[in-house]
Amino acid sequence: MKKNDEVSAVLYDISRLLELEGEEAYRIRAYRKASQSVSSLEGDIEEYYKEGRLRDIPGVGPSIGSVIEELLRTGRSGLLETLKKETPLELYEVIEVPGIGRKTALKVHRALGVATIEEFRDAARSHRIRRIKGLGDKVEKKILDALDRHNKALSETRIPVFRASAIAAEIMGYFKDCEGLAQADVAGSLRRRAPMIGDIDIVAAAHDPAEVIDCFCNMPITRIVKDRGEHHAEITTRYRVDAKLKIVSRDNYGLRLALNTGSKAHLRELEKRAMARGDRLSKEGFYKGGEEKVKFPREEGLYRALGLEYIPPELREGRGEVDAAAKGTLPDLITVEDIRGDLHVHTEWSDGSSSIQDMAMAARAKGYEYVAICDHSKSLHIANGLSIERLRDQMAEIDRLNDTLENFTILKGSEVDIMPDGSLDLPDDVLEDLDIVVGSVHTQLRQDADVVTRRVINALENEHLTILAHPTSRILGRREPTAIDIDRVIEAAKENNKVLEVNAYPDRLDLSDEHVKKAMDAGVMVSIDTDSHGIAELDYMEFGVNNARRGWATKARVLNTLSTGALLEYIERY
DNA sequence: GGCACCGCTGCCGTTTTTTCAGGAAAAAA
């Protein structure tokens, strides 16, 4: 298999150098695709070569085929070597930094001979970049800021929860075939459904611990076994995320699961609670009256012993959940089953990939009563935003489709851009003909706090707007939220009876859990919507609901738990 | 540069605005 990786790496390097040179995009993409294809190849590429089947590999044609052939025959690539003479490969790392483009990087490289990220940083710090013709102090500062942000991003080793969930599901799938296993659960921050996950914690009980450890260390996704003991193991997966397994006793499984689920702040609260009741809870276990050791096969028993309602994992963040559980005032959390429709989805009319009808059918198949088609409005050109005329056509199309549907309603909506001045991208006479208006900020994301806050509040004061979508515009791990003052936004939503979205798109989760909590505390409604751009993405709902649960959201405060009639009435009223 | 589906070809992601610098890069879904 090593040869496959080697070939894949060479093809990838070629694609990067071609990109640096400004080669035609499709040629770059062809090499990249071939690289990907070779790396995910099941068989040995040398076998393909020997059998003359290289071109059976998807993305490999005559040209790339001969590059691979040369590589396997001589161990070298003439094309790669020629390209390397022109441009150093390290320069590619610079253009990968968001905010520094290819031409700027090349210009700096040619003027100063610098190539690595460190050299660029030095060049910017010593003000050598501002002296290059065509660049100035502003660009120099931009480069420095971009490199700083990049540095911060590199030290972030966590991954978004939806990716961690998929990896954990894969691990649990392998466990099914492990005979020595009695029981296993995901624990840690993933069980709490935190937005970003550092590593995947798994707690298991075993008939045969050695076999289970073996099983874990020999999974197909295991790349490196970092640590291995009689009752624990730690691996790095091929997704570069670590997974830890702890084998615990069956009779105290519940307590161990709770201790391994955390959070630290939550456990500290539990320990304090135990102490106040004359008991003791620690890593060693639970001691009734400080002396008698009590075991809990199930978590519920532990919480009961502490005189608490059972606290769902999503709430275990030390944000007052233990007090609430003691008083019996924990929120009755929203569940996926409570959701009756999706109020923010796209179709092929703008930048989605499915038709209106397919989105409607898929939504109905999920058991929903309604779906709101909210394609982009005219100003968002990159997303193929709808002109007023096309929007009118779409509304007519939805009317036609609704006539054919029973027990399901397609709502006419728009994800209308909130313009930099706070006005909406559609005139009132269009807005009032829509069933639902979802407003979003997509441009000018770097406005000052006061400007962007006023902008959004202005939109919230528009009588036609129903929902404010992804209120902070954050993209997990990639883009910081806008400088918006969320407290003022929540206040304005309250005053104007507007709904704030919990965008379920997995790298948005916006509102954040903390912001959802603020909205709940303020008595503001939220709507959990997927922002789907195709039928498969309707399944993102689960991540939005999990995120809302972390923010203590209850069914009563989630707009899209309403029936179609109640929903339309609600929109009409406010 | 690869590929699909027939011919010697066209498609593969796109378009506009903002920003910095004086034409061009970067950002937005």
- A78: domain CATH number is 1.10.150.110
Tell me which residues from 23 to 42 on chain A have a beta carbon below 7 angstroms from nucleic acid strand B. Answer: 24, 26-27, 29-31, 34
- For the residues A362-390, what does the mean pLDDT come to? 96
Establish whether the CB of A55 is closer than 7 Å to any nucleic acid atom in strand B: yes
Task: Examine the pLDDT at A545 and tell me if it is beyond 90.
Answer: yes
Establish whether the CB of A380 is closer than 7 Å to any nucleic acid atom in strand B: yes
pLDDT: which is higher, A242 or A86: A242
pLDDT digits (tens, 9 = 90+) for A299-350: 999 999 999 999 999 999 999 999 999 999 999 999 999 999 999 999 999 9
SS3 category, A315:
helix
User: Residues 6 or more apart from A278 whose CB is under 8 A from it?
Assistant: A289, A290
Q: Is A469 part of a structural domain of the chain?
A: yes
Residue A478: pLDDT band (50, 70, 90) is: confident
User: Is there a single domain that holds both residue A483 and residue A428?
Assistant: yes
Distance CA A497, CA A510 (A): 19
Task: Examine the pLDDT at A416 and tell me if it is beyond 70.
Answer: yes
User: Is there a single domain that holds both residue A303 and residue A212?
Assistant: no
User: Is there a single domain that holds both residue A344 and residue A224?
Assistant: no
Q: Is A253 part of a structural domain of the chain?
A: no
Domain boundary residue, one of A64, A86, A108: A86
Task: Count structural domains, chain A.
Answer: 5
Range from A2-6, A232-236, A241-245, A504-508 carrying the lowest mean pLDDT: A2-6
Q: What percent of chain A has pLDDT over 70?
A: 100
User: Is there a single domain that holds both residue A341 and residue A459?
Assistant: yes
Among all protein residues, pick the one whose CA is nearest to the C1' atom of B16: A381
- For the residues A451-476, what does the mean pLDDT come to? 96
CA torsion angle A413 A368 A506 A202 (round to 10): 170
Distance CA A190, CA A161 (A): 7
Distance CA A64, CA A3 (A): 16
A403's tokens: 């006539």
Range from A10-24, A402-416, A519-533 carrying the lowest mean pLDDT: A10-24
pLDDT, position A537: 95
User: Is there a single domain that holds both residue A310 and residue A396?
Assistant: no
User: Is there a single domain that holds both residue A286 and residue A218?
Assistant: no
Tell me which residues from 82 to 121 on chain A have a beta carbon below 7 angstroms from nucleic acid strand B. Answer: 98-105
Among all protein residues, pick the one whose CA is nearest to the C1' atom of B11: A26
- For the residues A522-534, what does the mean pLDDT come to? 97
pLDDT, position A22: 87
User: Is there a single domain that holds both residue A345 and residue A310?
Assistant: no
User: Is there a single domain that holds both residue A141 and residue A174?
Assistant: no
Residue A2: pLDDT band (50, 70, 90) is: confident
- For the residues A33-61, what does the mean pLDDT come to? 94
pLDDT, position A1: 60
Taking the CA of residue A313 as centre, how many other CA atoms within 13 Å lie in the half-sphere pointing to its CB? 19
Instruction: Kindly report the CATH number assigned to the domain that includes residue A311.
Output: 3.30.210.10
User: Is there a single domain that holds both residue A529 and residue A427?
Assistant: yes
Q: b or e along A277-297 (b: 16 or more beta carbons within 10 Å of the residue's beta carbon)?
A: eebbbeeeebbeeeeeeebbb
Q: Are A4 and A41 in contact (CB under 8 A)?
A: yes
SS3 category, A394:
helix
User: Residues 6 or more apart from A207 whose CB is under 8 A from it?
Assistant: A179, A180, A181, A182
Among all protein residues, pick the one whose CA is nearest to the C1' atom of B21: A134
User: Is there a single domain that holds both residue A296 and residue A361?
Assistant: no
Distance CA A531, CA A342 (A): 8
Backbone angles phi, psi at A348, to 5 degrees: -65, -5
pLDDT: which is higher, A99 or A442: A442
Nucleotides of strand B within 7 Å of the protein's CB atoms: 1-3, 12-22, 24-29
A373: containing domain: 336-573
Task: Examine the pLDDT at A49 and tell me if it is beyond 90.
Answer: yes
Task: Examine the pLDDT at A553 and tell me if it is beyond 70.
Answer: yes
Q: What mean pLDDT, rounded, does chain A reach?
A: 95
CA torsion angle A82 A83 A88 A93 (round to 10): -150
Q: Is A197 part of a structural domain of the chain?
A: yes
pLDDT digits (tens, 9 = 90+) for A496-506: 999 999 999 99
Establish whether the CB of A483 is closer than 7 Å to any nucleic acid atom in strand B: no
Instruction: Kindly report the CATH number assigned to the domain that includes residue A201.
Output: 3.30.460.10
Residue A111: pLDDT band (50, 70, 90) is: very high
Domain boundary residue, one of A327, A347, A372: A327
User: Is there a single domain that holds both residue A446 and residue A530?
Assistant: yes
Q: Is A183 part of a structural domain of the chain?
A: yes
pLDDT, position A98: 85
Distance CA A483, CA A32 (A): 37
Q: Is A516 part of a structural domain of the chain?
A: yes
Domain boundary residue, one of A105, A131, A154: A154
CA of A286 to C1' of B19 (A): 61
Q: Is A220 part of a structural domain of the chain?
A: yes
Q: Are A421 and A462 in contact (CB under 8 A)?
A: no
pLDDT digits (tens, 9 = 90+) for A112-169: 999 999 999 999 999 999 999 889 999 999 999 999 988 888 888 899 999 999 999 9
Q: What percent of chain A has pLDDT over 90?
A: 92
Instruction: Kindly report the CATH number assigned to the domain that includes residue A384.
Output: 3.20.20.140
pLDDT, position A524: 98
User: Is there a single domain that holds both residue A75 and residue A113?
Assistant: no
Task: Examine the pLDDT at A220 and tell me if it is beyond 90.
Answer: yes
| CA angle, residues A20, A24, A28, in degrees to nearest 5 | 65
Length of chain A: 574
Q: Is A252 part of a structural domain of the chain?
A: no
Question: Cβ–Cβ contacts within 10 Å for residue A533, how many?
Answer: 19
